[in-house]
Structure 1
Amino acid sequence: MALSEYSKYGNAAAELASAVKENRVAHAYLIEGDNNVNKMGFAKEFAKALLCREKPGEGCDHCATCRKIDDDNYEDIYMIEPVWNDKKTKCSIKTAAVKELLSDLKARPTGGDRNIAIINGGENMVIEAQNKFLKTLEEPNPGTVIMILSENRDNLLPTINSRCITYRLIDFEGSDKNEMVAFAGEIAEMIGNRDFFYDIVKKLDSKIGDSREAEAFLDGLENVFGDMLINGSDTFGRERISNGVSYIEDSRRELRGNVIYKYSIRNLILKLEEI
């Protein structure tokens, strides 16, 4: 497999491939996605894109580096994940596991020029472990890339969130989700054309009937804005798109905080019309 195969999850794969090719890779990424999204597979393909010398930005799947990553035995990739307690009632990532990971990241890479950390189920890090992690997120060793995989980044400290570049992976292969992406595109076009707020709300109310559908709409709209960043837009400049994505995430947090979905979505539209 290759990183481009994960374009089914939105624009993250294309944007990260470009970052590798243009030598603008960040040191920390927060990769969020629902349980049905293969976040670990995505992370390993990103690691190939970072480390493969035959096909940088993608991974060739044939060289020794790519094969080692597939087999989970590449020497400079360190992974941790939650473990169950003795009673099998709760799983978490303890401070000791994070301390060991941080110690590993201080070592000089032996297989290439990067150390890579993958934290699966990052939202399960105990608070002390998250705090231990902060200094490394602020001042990592050169070449270090940290990937935190999470189903819900709101369960991570705000200071963790603020130090990472976040990508939300969305499974758009279902017909319902494709339909919502198309609908979000129609709403984005209405916003871009400065249509009346009342007309936009009327169209939204015809499609979105509960908080679940509201979150699917946010996913779709985020995907639409991602396409605009890559392909350009006649009505949305890069700064407007960037602000828009930030407002979408604000709305997502409101929904998860049990704010009434209609209020949250309408507030989002007002913000998008103002920028």
Structure 2
Amino acid sequence: MNDGGQRQFGPLGKVLVIIPTYNEVENIGPIVDRVRTAVPDAHILVADDNSPDGTGKAADEIAAADDQVHVLHRKGKEGLGAAYLAGFAWGRENGYGVLVEMDADGSHQPEELPRLLTALKGADLVLGSRWVPGGRVVNWPKSREVISRGGSLYSRLALGLSVRDVTGGYRAFRTETLDGLGLGEVASQGYCFQVDLARRAVEAGYHVVEVPITFVDREVGDSKMSRDILVEALWRVTGWGITSRANKVLGRKTP
């Protein structure tokens, strides 16, 4: 992981918080209110995957009353990665300098976003981390914590990364960082999407910083975690690890 050295980082520019949604009608209003309070200058993009519970309509009503809230309606449920890639494209097209990933369910606390943005002034990418000193999880069953810690540890070892929370989804990117990650080649969809972007950033030599966060389990709605998502993460990470080591032996750059 690049330590940044004496490199000079430019100003951050406009901030866009991207919130993917699928059946989050009870959560979307509260999370938008909390973001607007925590970072009043930030804009919000709700990327809704045609939620059957009316989340998209609720987001439209919020946006109609607040010109800092925008809604991107997608055709259907295509996965977390696809939703974020669409949100990144929208943010880049509309001139935002910082793109933030945030869950809709409140597990990523908007009140901690100012600390991530402060850290980004001296970094290319900031990860909200549960597994660095000061980070923690609240209201998680022990089994969920074991799976998350184990997945992050396996990813770190398989890919040779020093990042502690490789799978976390609370992140702040400089837009130019995303421009250098080869997003057109990203095919991962579930939570391994987060692993994919982290390993691409590290391998590209970007300065990645982890900031401790308190991750609070959702109180309303259903988790999107599934067996298929875990299986996808396992085989993709294993494949990336094998490819990376083979390329190092052969002196080739990992894609």
Q: Which structure exhibits the higher relative contact order, with contacts defined as CA atoms closer than 8 Å and separated by 6 or more residues?
A: 2
Q: TM-score, normalised by structure 2?
A: 0.35
Q: TM-score, normalised by structure 1?
A: 0.33
Between Structure 1 and Structure 2, the one with more strand by share is 2
